[in-house]
Amino acid sequence: MERAPAKINLTIKVTGRRADGFHEIQSLVVFADCGDRLSGEIASDWRLDMTGPFASSLADEPDNLVTRAAILLGDYLGQELNAHLTLEKNLPVASGMGGGSADAAAALRLLTRLYDRPVEPHEMAALALCLGADVPVCLDPSPAFMWGKGELIKRLSALPSFWLLLVNPGVAVSTGDVFRVLDAQESVETEVSPPLPQWADLDAFVEWLAARGNDLEAPARSIAPVIGDVIAAIARTNGCKLARMSGSGATCFGLYADEKSAKDAQAVISAAHPDWWVAAAVRL
């Protein structure tokens, strides 16, 4: 079994639109201890079953990223990777938590293990990038700073511990639509990593995050105004140190110092908005 944890963009800065159509970004990413799960075994043919609360959202999607990952990896290894896999879809679809990207990364890890065909990390990253700009960072669910179009990654080992409250109002927001609304100028591509400070404690980390934002939030809110309501609801909970949208939305997060604060906030939001998806999870 491979976990596909939720990817949370604590910050996103869009520095411009690249010549290849992608956007140049800078983002600090963490993973939460909740998400999808992928399991399976080698078989004589290929089959992907869906379970979990959001399985029906992918039922009519023949081009699932897990299937694409299997085909891509098989082509690279020079063999057909037949297997019967089950994707337990626990995260809302098109929610700004990198669910599909994490599923694809989990498929690459699971299939190389099932077939005992290890792939060098830099080659695996190149394969992952073929599946999407967010897939490489999901290969290793540890905190990271990503830039370029997402393929340039620096893993972070000294982040303070904290808990997250994740809230999705049940509205799917297309990443492509958000970037189309975003008015980004053409940029010069760079491979230079922006400097990052050393955070002494959680308060210093939150202060650094608060001085930055998510450049995709405004265009996402123009598409789904309920995002503003979600952020406001999270910000009102006791112990919330920061409330913001993740990724391209519509999932938003609150950042808390401890488990009790996050789970108390989960109870408050769930009671007030029973139709919203709400989860409290520790940062991995």
**Under 8 Å CB-to-CB from 102, ≥6 apart: which residues?**
4, 5, 6, 7, 35, 36, 138, 141
Determine the 3-state secondary structure of 80 from DSSP.
coil
Q: Show the DSSP H helices in the chain as ranges.
A: 65-77, 99-114, 121-131, 135-138, 175-181, 202-210, 217-223, 226-235, 259-272
Tell me the C-alpha distance between 249 and 231, whole Å. Answer: 11
| Residue linked to tokens 């809302």 | 92
Catalytic one among 89, 134, 215, 241?
A: 134
Tell me the C-alpha distance between 153 and 205, whole Å. Answer: 19
Catalytic one among 7, 89, 149, 241?
A: 7
* CA distances from residue 224 to 196, 217, 234, 243 in whole angstroms, order as listed: 32, 10, 17, 17
Told to judge if 7 belongs to the known catalytic residues of this protein, a careful annotator would answer yes
Determine the 3-state secondary structure of 23 from DSSP.
strand
Q: Known catalytic residues?
A: 7, 134
